[in-house]
Amino acid sequence: MIHEVEGDILLSGAEAIAHGIAANDPMNQGLAAALHADFPAMHKDFHHWCHVHHPKLGSAWLWSGAGGVRVINLLTQEGGYEHGSKPGKATVGSVNHALRALKNILAEEGIGSVALPRLATGVGGLSWSDVRPLIHSQLADTSATVYVYADYVPGKKASEPGL
């Protein structure tokens, strides 16, 4: 089931938070910056994973941290492997593939709930009217409960049905 909520995704009670990112992303903008600040080990581990695996656009990587924290990094934007590379813009196709990869991770890992922002609409540059239907199309039949933070309100805990 998909629920669109209003609040601060960092206060979510979901089992995992997913967000859009580029390979070797510096994680210095938007939700990625906040996740980097809260989980610096994730940033280091992500860069190591990118260096070793050279992930493709549209793939996803699950990071698990201390205390059961899980962050799913969705590669929605072009990235670079050179030092100082900046994330490119997202595409509808890369978001669609990344959401499919997310769906697989949710099933394989038995994750019962996930929180998503307005994926790829900030730094990624896509329109919410293009991304919203993709989320519903790819995740509507997953067994996990999906909380889409359609309206960001800093410091406000969203009402997440079922949690």
Q: Is the pLDDT of residue 85 over 90?
A: no
Residue 49 forms part of a structural domain: yes
Residue 162 forms part of a structural domain: no
- Give Cα 87 to chain centroid, integer Å: 15
- Residue 6: phi and psi, rounded to 5, are -125, 130
Tokens, residue 67? 């205390």
Residue 159 forms part of a structural domain: no
Percent of the chain residues topping a pLDDT of 70: 96
Residue 118 forms part of a structural domain: yes
Q: What is the pLDDT of residue 120?
A: 94
Q: What is the pLDDT of residues 5-14, one digit of tens each?
A: 999 999 999 9
Residue 157 forms part of a structural domain: no
Residue 158 forms part of a structural domain: no
Q: Could you tell me which of 104, 107, 111 has the C-alpha nearest to residue 71?
A: 111
Please count the structural domains in the chain: 1
pLDDT band of 148, cuts 50, 70, 90: very high
Q: Is the pLDDT of residue 82 over 80?
A: no
Boundaries of domain holding 55: 2-152
At 10, is the secondary structure helix, strand, or coil? helix
Residue 65 forms part of a structural domain: yes
Residue 62 forms part of a structural domain: yes
CATH code for position 34 = 3.40.220.10
- Residue 138: phi and psi, rounded to 5, are -80, -30
Tokens, residue 142? 């997953």
List CB contacts of 114: < 8 A, sequence separation 6 or more: 14, 15, 16, 17, 18, 72, 102, 106, 144, 145, 146, 147
